[in-house]
Amino acid sequence: MRPLYIEGSPGCRVVLDEPALRVIVPEKADQLFPLSRISRVVNKGVVEWSMSALLACADGGINVLFLEKNGEVRARWLGRGGERQALTQRLLDLLARADGLVLYGNWFLSMEKLAVRSFARRIGLTEWREITVVELRQRLAPHLSGAAGQNVNLLQSLLQAELLVWLADSGFCSDDESLLSSNLDLAEDFSKFLVWDFYPSLLNGKASDQHGLSAMAELFEQRSGRLYLLFRSTINKLHQFLLAVS
């Protein structure tokens, strides 16, 4: 299965043409995408969806992401998940504790620090062991504004879409009402530190001159294998953390 990326425009519509999604763009030939081959859908710009197409995605476990023009996530349509599994329950048990959010927050900060130090080492900073997240963000701010900042937003949104699938496959159910009501968004949190892996490409080389959804989707797909390994390492660390505090 592969992701479906839709660069919206006035008049762009997605309808159900069972067993596929039909993408309709004025003055262009319609395109058919079989539901069985779609892992997720990412929309940017003006895209109108029929309710039958959205429900078909939900029934097929396909998450649909809607992005703002600047690449940030505007809305998510979550596909049907499976039964709640052990990792979800362990996380819910942690969040039920009075200090649960604080403990999770500390784990998140430790993971973010690891990602930042890895980035700093890769770009050759001599002080990579000591530099803080705040200090590095301040240094990068002039280089990641404007169009470059939109590229970061796009990549983080693409990460969130992929993470919804990976997290569900790892035992975290995106449709668990208790998890949703906790105001904890694992896909968003994971994307915040995994996106650091893209920064060397965004700051140096041909990728720094590329902009827009298509270019960032291509960059994302090129690094998807490495990202999945980083994700699995993160999941293992989260599992160890949940076992340690249970």
**Per-residue pLDDT reduced to its tens digit, 219-244:** 899 888 899 999 989 998 998 898 88
Amino acid at the residue 106: N
Q: Tell me how far apart the alpha carbons of residues 58 and 60 are, in angstroms, rounded to a whole number.
A: 5
Specify the pLDDT at position 181: 59
For the segment 30-40, the average pLDDT, to the nearest whole number, is: 89
The region that residue 245 occupies, defined by phi over 0 for left and psi between -120 and 50 for alpha, beta otherwise, is alpha
Give, in words, the CATH class of 2-77. alpha beta
Q: Name the CA dihedral angle for 47, 50, 55, 60, rounded to a multiple of 10 degrees.
A: -60
> What residue ranges of the chain are covered by domains with CATH 3.100.10.20?
2-77
Q: Is the pLDDT of residue 52 over 90?
A: yes
Q: Is the pLDDT of residue 183 over 80?
A: no
Specify the pLDDT at position 174: 56
For residue 206, name the pLDDT band (cuts at 50, 70, 90).
Answer: low
- Answer whether 190's CB lies under 8 Å from 107's CB: no
* Residue 30 CB burial class (10 angstroms; 0-12, 13-18, ≥19): exposed
Q: Is the pLDDT of residue 176 over 70?
A: no
Q: What does pTM read for this prediction?
A: 0.65
Q: Is the pLDDT of residue 45 over 70?
A: yes
Tokens of 93: 């048990």
